[in-house]
Amino acid sequence: MGVAILGNVTQKLTVGWLYPDLMNIYGDRGNILTLLKRAEWHGLEASVVELGRGASDRMNDVDVFFFGGGQDREQALIYDDLREFKQESLQRAVANGAQVLAVCGGYQLLGHYYQTADGERYDGIGLIDVRTEAGKKRFIGDVVVQTDIGLTPRTLVGFENHSGRTFLGSGAKALGRIIQGKGNNGSDKTEGCVQGGIIGTYLHGSLLPKNPHLADHLIAAALKRRGDGALSSLDDSAELAAHGWILQRAQRR
């Protein structure tokens, strides 16, 4: 069991859940449960702050933000709120080393804009240098990604369901290379993006239960920015067995 006691004070981890009522599809809630449970297994005092529409004075307390996916309709309902009530605090938190995991619709709105297949443009907050325009055909299916951000194993597995085609600008680098599936846009073989402490990805599923190494990457980075102790390892044999089974299934296809 991991121990994260600094001196005689139990370290805390606060997860900020952006728009839990609207941006939470294809099992994305599982990412919150995984972050909280793994933090607890590491000996941290874990809590979640729900950040729905409107102003919040809690965003400075957050160590790891999660921004889930949503259909065009839900994105239309929140993109103004994101700019008006969340952008400044999120920019400040990220500048202070908070980590962000954004999936699909959340990923798209952290970029410059998301444009629907009907030409509706939802302005993003430009925290990451990406832009997204929807195509006519949805990308739906299992995804396997080979990352190069220091994860062990290097692979991530998940499920995608999006019409958006995301293209990275020079300020963002890809989270990884597509081994199976479509990823960012179905053409340049990239998936997701990494920019500072922000990870954007199209991987639903939910992502973190079958990718515990990514969950701990986020938790460890959040603790490190506070100068808190490093995480010790957990027994991830069950999680990595699920991860490996999906890799084998992909190789059989």
Q: Which residues bind ligand GLN (CB under 6 A)?
A: 25, 69-72, 75, 104-105, 134, 161-164
The values of phi and psi at residue 121, to 5°, are: -110, 120
Is 204 part of the annotated catalytic residue set? yes
* Rg of the Cα atoms in the chain: 17
Residue 11 token pair: 């370290």
- Please give the Cα distance from 158 to 103 (Å, whole number): 11
Instruction: Provide the b/e sequence for 92-124 (b: ≥16 CB within 10 Å).
Output: ebbeeebbbbbbbbbbbbbbbbbbbeeeeebeb
Is 104 part of the annotated catalytic residue set? yes
- Please give the Cα distance from 124 to 157 (Å, whole number): 26
Residue 153 token pair: 């194993």
- Please give the Cα distance from 234 to 33 (Å, whole number): 16
Which residue in 42, 162, 204, 243 is the catalytic one?
204
- Nearer to ligand GLN among residue 70 and residue 181 (C-beta): 70
- Nearer to ligand GLN among residue 58 and residue 137 (C-beta): 137
Catalytic residues: 104, 204
